[in-house]
Structure formats: C-alpha cells, structure tokens
Amino acid sequence: MKKLINSPGTVIADALRGIEVSDNRVRVDHTHRIVLRKEPKADGKVALVSGGGSGHEPLHAGFVGEGMLDAACAGEMFTSPTPDQIVAAIDAADTGAGTLLIVKNYTGDVMNFEMGAELTGAQVRTVLVADDVAVEDSTFTAGRRGVAGTMIVEKIAGAAAEEGMGLDDVASLARAVAASTRSMGMALTSCTVPAAGRPTFDLPEHEMEIGIGIHGEPGRHREPFTDAAHIARQLVEPVLADLNFGDSDVILLVNGMGGTPLIELYVMVAEVTALLEAADVRIARCLVGNYVTSLDMAGCSVTLTRAEPEWLRLYDEPVNTAGLRWGA
C-alpha cells in the first residue's frame, strides 16, 4: 500500500493538521478532533454541526466555514464520531440559538449523534440524510444510506443559518432538501483503508460495482465494465425512477469517489446531462468534482436535488470553506 500518509495510525490527526494550516478561517480542537470556525460566534446564529467517519474529505471537515458548517467531527476512518466528540462540537458551536445536527443515515452515526444530542445542554434538532437509492438497508445502515446529497443539504441549510433563520425553520428546510435529494454511485476500484492495508473488496479487472456505498459497501450488482454512457444510464435511471424531477428546477452533482480525475468526471457530466435533458429534467445548477469521497476509490456518483426557487437562491449564496468556495 502506497499512500501519502505517515502511518495508518496518524492519518486523521495529520489530515486535521493539514486542514488547519491550509485554511486560516478554521481552527481544530485536536483533543476532540473537531474542526471549528475561528471567528467569534455570531449571537443568534443557529449552529450547523455535522461529522462522520473520516475518509470522505472534503466532507465534512472541509466544509466548515462561512455559509456552511460551524463544526465538524472527524471520526475514525469510516467510523462514526463518538458522543463526546459530538457534545464538544455542539458546545463549541452553539450560540444559544440552537444547533442543527446533519447526520448521514448509518446506524452508528444515528446512535452517537442521538447520544450527543441528549448529553448536551443545547437545544438540538437533527436532520437525517438518506439519499442513496441503491439499496434499502446495507452493511452499516437500516434504511437508505446517506451519501453525496449530504453536501447539498449542508450548503443550502448553511446559507439559511448564515442569514439568521431560526432553528426550527432551518431544520425544516434541511429536512425538505434531504427529502428532495437522491443519489446513486458506482465504483471501478475498491478503496484501501490505511489500517487494513489492502482493498476493502475484490473487483475483477473488467468489472464494476453499480450502487456502491461510500465505504465500499456492496451495491446492487456487478457487471462488466463498458463505457461512460452506459454507466450514466445505470446511475441516472434509478434516481429518476425514485422521485419525480420533471416538474422542478434541479441541482445536479456529479461527484468523484476520490481516485477519479476531473477529466473523467467531465466525460460523465456530459453523459448524465444528455440523459437528463432527454427526460425533460431542468438542470438549474451543476457541480462537478471530488467532494464526497471514499478514500482512493475510483468511481463516481450522481445526485439530483429537486430545488425550490428559494433553495437555488440559498445554494448560490457565498460559501467560504477549504473544500467549497464561491463568491456572491
């Protein structure tokens, strides 16, 4: 196993140091492994706290900053953060206006965020993201998995919180965005968890896994590798079959799994867009890149959010984080 790391035991601590030195708008509580905004908390701002297993960067640690999260907890690799991390994040981020927890739907995450919410004195609401249409229940999940759509929820809810929206309204908004978001992913290769030192699963040279989870959990099926156009159909069709996207503007995210270069994601977005146009889906916004990753896995996912006009306005608001930046 060759990776740009010092050792499997230090990779998360080292990566947190890297986020800290590369983004002077955040600070890291290394004891609790939480990333926080550096500037003083604005009174009355609802805090957005997320987190999950490490290995999906820039999600979540790279999404802390203006217009997005107030704090992110970095769990062990592909492992939920602990309740005490979550309590520390809530306590550091809360301004008295309450905290929204954005949680991907994995059993460990749900349990630990629930426990964290019970242990803190802050007023807390939770949104569960379960956007992956590939499978019901999975290795680490009861119900659908939370995958790349999580960043769309964080972006839109983050903008609303930045504007001063109250806790219950931000929570309702985040839940509505999550409920309007669907994703489907695929892998050309397995990821390799540093501590394991070998690929999580075996995938023969000429096969791919359709419906892969972001920890390498099994998807729907394997089939021979073909081409980008076929892969796009395998991702777009289940998403369109799951929710009616025809009557609304849509945010499209073509996301890389970490080991896929941008040139291939550009090829994918061309194919995905052609399919969506043929299905009369109106693509109002389009984002392409490696945002919700699975370590060094090669592959991609397609996420669609059926967006109300107000959500598009919030999506367009400035964001200033290590992993996602744009201006007004």
Binding stretches for a second copy (CB under 8 A):
2-7, 11, 14-24, 54-55, 57-58, 62, 188-189, 205-206, 208, 225, 227-229, 231, 254, 258-271, 273, 283, 286-288, 290, 293, 295-296, 298-300, 318, 320, 322-323, 325-328
Q: How are the residues of the chain apportioned to helix, strand and coil, as percentages rounded to the nearest 5?
A: 30, 25, 40
Distance CA 276, CA 210 (A): 19
Short-list 255, 215, 258, 212, CA closest to 80: 215
One-letter amino acid at 288 equals V
Select which of 30, 32, 56, 206 is catalytic: 56
User: Which residue, 144 or 155, has its beta carbon nearer to a second copy?
Assistant: 155
Count CA atoms closer than 13 A to 280's CA, side-chain side: 4
Nearest-approach distance from CB 256 to a second copy, in angstroms: 9
Active site residue 56: yes
Nearest-approach distance from CB 191 to a second copy, in angstroms: 9
Nearest-approach distance from CB 98 to a second copy, in angstroms: 28
Nearest-approach distance from CB 44 to a second copy, in angstroms: 24
Structure tokens at 15: 């990566």
Estimate to the nearest angstrom the gap between the alpha carbon of 94 and the chain centroid.
22
Cis peptide before 58 (omega within 30 of 0): yes
User: Which residue, 153 or 268, has its beta carbon nearer to a second copy?
Assistant: 268
User: Residue 208 in 3-state DSSP?
Assistant: strand
User: Which residue, 128 or 297, has its beta carbon nearer to a second copy?
Assistant: 297
User: Which residue, 10 or 244, has its beta carbon nearer to a second copy?
Assistant: 10
Burial of 81 (0-12, 13-18, 19+ CB in 10 A): buried
User: Which residue, 55 or 149, has its beta carbon nearer to a second copy?
Assistant: 55
Question: Contacts by 201-207 with C-beta closer than 8 Å and gap 24+?
Answer: none
User: Residue 176 in 3-state DSSP?
Assistant: helix
List strand residue ranges (DSSP E) for 204-259, in order.
Answer: 207-210, 221-224, 249-256
User: Residue 199 in 3-state DSSP?
Assistant: strand
User: Which residue, 128 or 281, has its beta carbon nearer to a second copy?
Assistant: 281
Structure tokens at 38: 């550096």
Distance CA 216, CA 193 (A): 10
Go through 14-39 and write b for each residue having 16 or more CB atoms within 10 A of its CB, e for each that does not.
Answer: ebbeebbeebeebbbbeebbbbbbee
Nearest-approach distance from CB 122 to a second copy, in angstroms: 29
Select which of 30, 60, 215, 230 is catalytic: 215
Nearest-approach distance from CB 37 to a second copy, in angstroms: 17
Active centre residues (catalytic): 56, 215
